[in-house]
Structure 1
Amino acid sequence: MDSTVLNPEVKQKDADRAVVVAVTAHAVFESGADDGDEVYKVGTAFPLLQALQRVNERLLEENPAESLLFDVILVTTDGQQQSSRIISSTKHYGLEVSKFCFSTTEDFIDGLRTNNVQLFLSSDRKEASQASQNGVLSALLDQNMAACPSEQLRVLFCGDAVVHSNNSPMPSFSAQLGEMRQRFGMFDSPLSMVLMTSRGGRESCSAALLTLRSQGVSVDEAYCLGGSPRGPILSLIRPHFLLSNAFSDLEE
């Protein structure tokens, strides 16, 4: 059975307005052999949490009463093992994590549902796929995130997923991101949204742009690859995660 623990160090977000993002702890911290330290070393998803936190900080700078904020939950799938160390590590690094959800591989989906998670991020393909199959918008994290910026959250939309998405949570989540992005000007935004179409020509890119705009999303950049390799563009964009119909690695 899953167990959710509130973080008393962090002010809890408005449940009706917050964008709830759950991230697996094993992607945020390196949980290798016990070396005697009280805290874990940082993992590949550490810049992601810093970027989410930076967006919140800038939103509150613009409006101290802002309620449209990221609400971050750390999720484990090995029960209560090392729970105190995970909490201590979060406090040590000053991460704005509202809750800790300690689950098992059998019931972590219940934990996501109980906490009304709108986006689940994991470096485990099986976990991400399982969450998606159970109706939770999910994305796969990979090693490239270690090189992502921590001062700006970069979200990449796959054009095919935007136009032909069979994932009903995606439009709602996209709309919330779009509303957040509108809080900032064209330049120096802590949130950047990029569209990439891997196949097709300008028509495919235009269709994806129109779909996003209908959801209230104006992207900062758009790339029409027309079948070209994604690698060079991805190394330039350095997105934290890719919103797509399939769980493709960012290194492709």
Structure 2
Amino acid sequence: MVSTVENTDVRQKDADHAVVLAVTSHAVFESGPKGGDDGFYGRSVAFPLLQALQEVNKRLLEENPAESLLFDVVLITTESQQQQQSSCIISSTRHHGLEVSRFCFSSEEDFIENLQKNNVQLFLSTNRSEVLQARQKGVLSALLDENSASSPTDQLRVLFCGDAVSRPDVGPTSASGQAAQTFLAQLGKIRQKFRMFDSPVCITLVTSHGGRESCGDALKALRSLGVGVDEAYCLAGAPCGPILSLLRHHFLLSDRFSSLKD
């Protein structure tokens, strides 16, 4: 069973131009409401991400009040316990001031249908199995981790794995590669709307293997899609863990989830 509830508290985005991101509710909120069933859910790892997305939208509208290329956030709920407390999830977003356009409730077996119906361009979850399922169906997906919880709220920080960028067709399906290119192009357009300094979007490239040539190929691949990179790191086989903890990215786009965890 799949159901979608439109959030009447926020202005709905232009469906033809918005960049739709879906985030699981268990990534945004803690498992149980505080203060009993009538309380609000506490913050979880994806909370700073949603705040950063709102900051980008705010800055875009300050630059151009008629801007239609905005981030559109959909909250996906697959856990039965949270579905039973759907009103608490909706009121929690209002309590925390989160601009969620739609709330989607489905079983773990049907959540892909929700993603497809809402034309989701990037799916984010703390559940590795959900991320892999979405990728297998051609939906660009990323796994959220503890780095997301410590990320800034005033700047969206996106991290790319150089291997995934230079070979976007690598993955379970060619559809996921095409989805990646589409999302990258839209992200690049958003980044171009801001100056080099004081931007609410920071795009970082990390190449874990190879030398300067590998990093250069990845940069060229991004530029071909209109994506400018703010920071680039060529690790040439060095451990990635230390630099990841310093970069404080909201999410990592990579064709191998563990490739940057060494």
TM-score interval for Structure 1 and Structure 2 normalised by the shorter chain: over 0.9
Q: 1:117 aligns with which of 78, 99, 120?
A: 120
| Contact 1:142/1:250 (8 A) holds in 2 | no
**Deviation sequence 1:158-216 (CA, Å, 0-9, x none):** 10001112222111100100000000001010000001100000110000000000000
| Contact 1:77/1:102 (8 A) holds in 2 | yes
Aligned to 2:98: 95
Q: C-alpha distance in 1, partners of 2:126/2:259?
A: 10
Q: C-alpha distance in 1, partners of 2:230/2:26?
A: 31
**Where in structure 2 are there 5+ consecutive unaligned residues?**
170-176
Aligned to 2:172: none
The answer to whether 1:216 aligns with 2:219 is no
| Contact 2:162/2:215 (8 A) holds in 1 | yes
Q: C-alpha distance in 2, partners of 1:33/1:184?
A: 38
| Contact 1:38/1:88 (8 A) holds in 2 | no
Aligned to 1:16: 16
Q: How much does 1:35 deviate?
A: 4.2
Map 1:176-187 onto structure 2 (within 5 A).
176-187=186-197
3-state SS of the aligned residue for 1:31? strand
Percent identity between matched residues is 67
**Deviation sequence 1:44-79 (CA, Å, 0-9, x none):** 110000000100000000000000000000001135
Check 1:159–1:250 CA distance in 2 against 1; reply closer, same or farther (3 A cut). closer
Question: Scaled by the length of structure 1, what TM-score is found?
Answer: 0.97
Q: How much does 1:34 deviate?
A: 6.5
Q: How much does 1:249 deviate?
A: 8.2
Moved more, 107-116 or 230-239: 230-239
Q: C-alpha distance in 2, partners of 1:210/1:236?
A: 25
Moved more, 159-168 or 129-138: 159-168
Equivalent residue letter for 1:247:
F
Q: C-alpha distance in 2, partners of 1:153/1:135?
A: 24
Question: Scaled by the length of structure 2, what TM-score is found?
Answer: 0.93
Q: How much does 1:144 deviate?
A: 2.1
Equivalent residue letter for 1:221:
E
Equivalent residue letter for 2:29:
F
Aligned CA-pair RMSD: 1.3
Map 1:27-42 onto structure 2 (within 5 A).
27-32=27-32, 35-36=35-36, 37-42=38-43
3-state SS of the aligned residue for 1:12? coil
Aligned to 1:133: 136
The number of residue pairs the alignment matches comes to 252
| Contact 1:101/1:111 (8 A) holds in 2 | yes
**Where in structure 1 are there 5+ consecutive unaligned residues?**
none
